[in-house]
Amino acid sequence: MDARSVKELLLVPFVGACIHVPPLPSNQVIHVMALTGFKFRDLFDPVWVTGRLTVMQSSTDLADAGYALAADTIAIR
């Protein structure tokens, strides 16, 4: 991530979901990866993501994810 562009994000089911106690279970978190950076306005903007979704366990500094999505497009909703 740079100042206004993201190549990876964690997609969660509701605004404000975070690593607070208790953390979300991994089946509610999708690790989204994009080849090109996605420009965003605000961290809390909802997004539409299209691409290939796979079942894949991954762990980041922020959360564990049960799915991975190779994003073709990411757009502010």
- For residue 3, the model assigns a pLDDT of 67
pLDDT at 21: 72
Domain boundaries defined on the chain: 5-14+21-76
Provide φ and ψ at 18, rounded to 5°. Answer: -150, -165
Q: What fold, for 5-14+21-76?
A: OB fold (Dihydrolipoamide Acetyltransferase, E2P) (2.40.50)
Transcribe 50-76 into DSSP letters.
EEEEEEEEEE-SS-EEEEEEEEEEEEE
Q: What is the pTM of this model?
A: 0.85
pLDDT digits (tens, 9 = 90+) for 14-44: 877 766 777 889 999 999 999 888 888 887 8
